[in-house]
Amino acid sequence: MSNKINLRKLPPLKSLKGFEAAARLLSVRGAAQELNLTHPAVSHQIQLLESDLGVKLFSRVGRNICLTKVGHGYYIFVRQALQILIQGSEEVRENCTVEPLRFQTYISVSIRWLAPRLHQFCIEQPDIDIQLSSCSPNWDFDENNADIGLIYSTSPVQRHLHWIDFFDPEFFPVCSPKLIRAAKGKITLQQLSEYPLLKVSGEEKYWSWGQWFKSAGSGSNSYHSSIEVDTSAAAIEMAINGEGVTLVSAPLVAADLASGRLVKPIDHSSTGNGKWGLVCHQSTLNDPRVDVFVNWLQAQRMQG
């Protein structure tokens, strides 16, 4: 078992930096400039060290300083000690690999909302690595393989999980403007039901065409989802290409609506069966990276 170190015998550690620089440069002023300190501050550090050791480390020769015999010997010890400390610290830094912050969400959210923005986070927070995992619409938060998730939930999360409301829970139909060009931009509910309506497998438990038509005031169920795909991202791309109309959550198509690649054939939104939220284990809140990333995500959400 290692012997206990008598820390009381340590010199004032802050003074060692000032002493090393002054001894190396043979200039208190030069040491102050190098350490970005004032001349009196470095002089004070040296005086504290000399007082602790009970010896003079420097002597004056005119306007210059030089090391005393004891000071020269002590300088060699201090240099060696600092070099050993630096070497050990560098080895720890090089060998210490911090696991990336693991973020999971749906494929559509990754492609349509997060991925185009994530490079900005890397610029703003270069010391935080993000591992992004994309999942299907049927995915639920996997706390064993993710630190944070962005999910759409139709029921309260478990008590050991922390929930933060995120996107507005509204959804609405979108399509390419060329699909409804003949109708001069707007169509009726009956006309909409006659277009190819795109369906995303797994999302009907969240929102559906039947639910949307009912909320829009249609008493008829005479609509047909003619094409089924496995992700909202695929459905949105098909809608952009004029292959049908799809139901979406607003954040996934904000840029496309702004650019005119997509339009709302009917200006009616409906609330789904659940809500969007960020979720993580309560213990994960102790990780300061989580707070940084969550704040950044919320700022991105506010920007649209």
Closest to 47 (Cα-Cα) out of 14, 10, 82, 89: 14
Name the residue with higher pLDDT: 4 or 138.
4
Give percent helix, percent strand, percent coil of the chain, each to the nearest 5. Answer: 45, 20, 35
**Rounded-to-integer distance, Cα 287 and Cα 289, Å:** 5
- pLDDT for position 41: 96
Q: What is the pLDDT of residues 157-202, one digit of tens each?
A: 888 889 999 998 889 999 999 988 876 667 888 888 889 999 888 7
Q: What is the pLDDT of residues 47-72, one digit of tens each?
A: 999 999 999 999 998 888 999 999 99
- pLDDT for position 219: 64
Extract the tokens encoding 57.
Answer: 């480390």
**Rounded-to-integer distance, Cα 99 and Cα 255, Å:** 33
Domains of the chain in sequence order: 9-95 (1.10.10.10), 101-163+281-303 (3.40.190.10), 170-271 (3.40.190.10)
Q: What is the pLDDT of residues 110-164, one digit of tens each?
A: 999 999 999 999 999 998 999 999 887 667 788 888 899 998 888 888 888 899 9
- pLDDT for position 138: 67
293, amino acid identity: F
Tell whether the torsion through CA atoms of 185, 190, 194 and 200 is positive or negative. Answer: positive
Residues contacting 195, CB < 8 A, separation 6+: 175, 179, 180, 187, 244, 245, 265
**Rounded-to-integer distance, Cα 205 and Cα 227, Å:** 18
**Rounded-to-integer distance, Cα 63 and Cα 69, Å:** 19
Q: Which uninterrupted H or E stretch holds 229?
A: strand 227-229
Q: pLDDT tier at 222 (50, 70, 90 boundaries)?
A: low
**Rounded-to-integer distance, Cα 111 and Cα 255, Å:** 13
Residues contacting 157, CB < 8 A, separation 6+: 141, 163, 277, 279
- pTM for the model: 0.65
27, amino acid identity: S
- Find tokens 């707007």 and name the residue: 186
Length of the chain: 304
